[in-house]
Structure 1
């Protein structure tokens, strides 16, 4: 615990913001979390939590709460979406896994993870939660940051600010400049449904509790159970041929059907059961070096938005939060805390950002490229975690400079 309690403001009430608020409060500081929505909530469906995320959740004191609703899948399986044949798998219950990783691989519903973090923040006496606060801009001087809000809400003054306001972060835009988001030209349709609606071979896969990835040319389907197995999560992703930067009329349901038309029967049977009420265009940004701007630091998607192909977006936000709390546990000067946090996290997050793009390219190979990928992956043993261990193993805490 630090001898001097700072006043820290966290902007954004998503998974990263709640985790950051909890982590900093547990380090001995007073935290005010500001969410622009009228109430706290999370949208989306399933979420994969690799062992690095489970470790972060344990360090935040919420792993037990998350595990009460999460599922621990026995395997990660890649299937060929065209032939329906298995390409490769990883055994998450093997001795090789437990010897290499000290924490479980979990899958959960986003709302369940968000609820566990929100409950922990509400229970912590040093965390104040405020909704309906839209930050318009921030001013900082040598001693404080002053946050200004839309409407008649009075400004808030804090010793430091953490910007966890997501992909479209207003604070990042103000600090870094007017960057363009990088559109991957891919779009996702996602949702969860009761597993008894799955039929035939789909029901067999659902009953296995495995994470299934059906890889195909410029598209893929991901399936796994969430919420104690009461729901089955499905995400269909594909590249649009009709993307234009000045239009939102691309990645449509008709394109979804067209892209998956040549897949195996099991994938085609799953397609009508995928939620169509919302489409999710997939964006990321290029890595940046400047996460810290005076008394303001970026976290999560505000710092390093990434494509989902390594399933590390939320995991990396949780790692950010833990590292930030550790830094504020060592330093009472926000500049020192932010510098240590950024030095620990920046290179690793950038590496995962860029490799997420590359794995997406591998997953979506066509023709001979897909054939060679399948042959290479098929030669890997189910207990060989060498390729992915660096992703699933967080960097050690930074050592303060004397």
Structure 2
């Protein structure tokens, strides 16, 4: 691995075989996968340093299988937590709606655990893998302006400092507001009118009875929900509060305020209201996605991860689908004769699947936040749910490739 943080500029031209734009989860996983296959790959990132914003992330077995194939699973597991349940609770009454058992039967079924970890720990494991790989080059401080296809099958990416990168293949992994995406599809982000507040606190802050069994708690209420789970080997407790603002407007930022947060959660049971003091109220996170599209590729340029299919977080599959993308992308590049054929093969394998998850995430959000008689019907419809019935999860959770034997770790 080489890492270059010095500015090129002055209309410099840099030629690389494969260029990945964006050093987040999708970009680093793709670069590492290609590097492990002996394919030189160059990653450019706009931030001064490679890093990840946010706190917790849930990783289902499909994501775990990719991390295993990338050789970073053990590193990720060092500080991960293995929840034994995912419990859906009514945020108003405090009563259980349904539980998914994530214990031994789950692991035997999928071959991998369901884990929760800090986004920074996942990113750090991928970054370390790239840094240790001689075929991966990492470069910071590169703000991309645009991508273009050229005659002869190459593509170029132009950055703010005047550098032009020429590549046989360009992979746009630059997230929701991708600078690469306009080459392929002209669209806008879609505001959900929901906003999130997050907070991670020492586990000692939380009542002992709330954390004695590691689990993911999903509190569902009218136009709001709260997600809670432990992080960093059980040393921290992650809280994510989400609610719909009545004052959303694209013309101002005075929506999704602390006052709205308290009002929305004021009708909830005591345990949910208690979580309000765990939240960082200085930062609010407006939630957006995009409409699913039928193509992510144009010539020798393709999109991946959130640049291709940004989704609302209600299915906890955004990061996992980015990792699945990376595996499919590496497969395509290392088996097809050229970048254009590889990108079409990748797209054919992934576009319908991720589009379905984008759509279902929106539906899940409606189900999470339903009010009135709808809320009663939702709760009643799950009263006979069997915690070890995974058939409705297989299409999302089943790994693209499973290990010969289940990969298990101590709780």
Q: Return the match for 1:230 from 235, 244, 251.
A: 235
Superposed, 1:84-99 pairs within 5 Å as: 84-95=94-105, 97-99=106-108
Is structure 2 residue 185 aligned with structure 1 residue 181? Answer: no
Q: Return the match for 1:302 from 303, 307, 311.
A: 307
User: CA offset at residue 394 of structure 1?
Assistant: 4.2
Deviations 1:192-228 (A, max 9, x none): 11111113xxx32223210000000110000001111
Q: Return the match for 1:352 from 348, 354, 357.
A: 357
- State the distance in 1 between where 2:357 and 2:401 align: 16
TM-score, normalised on structure 1?
Answer: 0.93
User: CA offset at residue 138 of structure 1?
Assistant: 2.1
Q: Return the match for 1:329 from 314, 334, 359.
A: 334
The aligned residue for residue 206 of structure 2 is 198
Deviations 1:243-278 (A, max 9, x none): 112111111111000000010011111111112121
Alignment RMSD, CA only? 1.4
- State the distance in 1 between where 2:199 and 2:277 align: 12
The aligned residue for residue 136 of structure 1 is 145
The aligned residue for residue 240 of structure 1 is 245
Gaps of 5+ in 1: 1-5, 398-402
- When structure 1 is superposed on structure 2, of 376-385 and 115-124 the one drifting more is 376-385
Runs (4+) of structure 1 exceeding 6 A deviation are none
Q: Secondary structure at the match of 1:176?
A: coil
TM-score, normalised on structure 2?
Answer: 0.91
The aligned residue for residue 155 of structure 2 is 145
Gaps of 5+ in 2: 1-15, 403-411
The aligned residue for residue 70 of structure 1 is 80
The aligned residue for residue 125 of structure 1 is 134
Is structure 2 residue 68 aligned with structure 1 residue 58? Answer: yes
Number of residue-to-residue matches in the alignment: 386
Q: Return the match for 1:9 from 6, 10, 19.
A: 19
Deviations 1:80-100 (A, max 9, x none): 1001111111111142x2332
**Contact 2:63–2:321 (CA under 8 A) maintained in structure 1:** yes
Q: Secondary structure at the match of 1:188?
A: strand
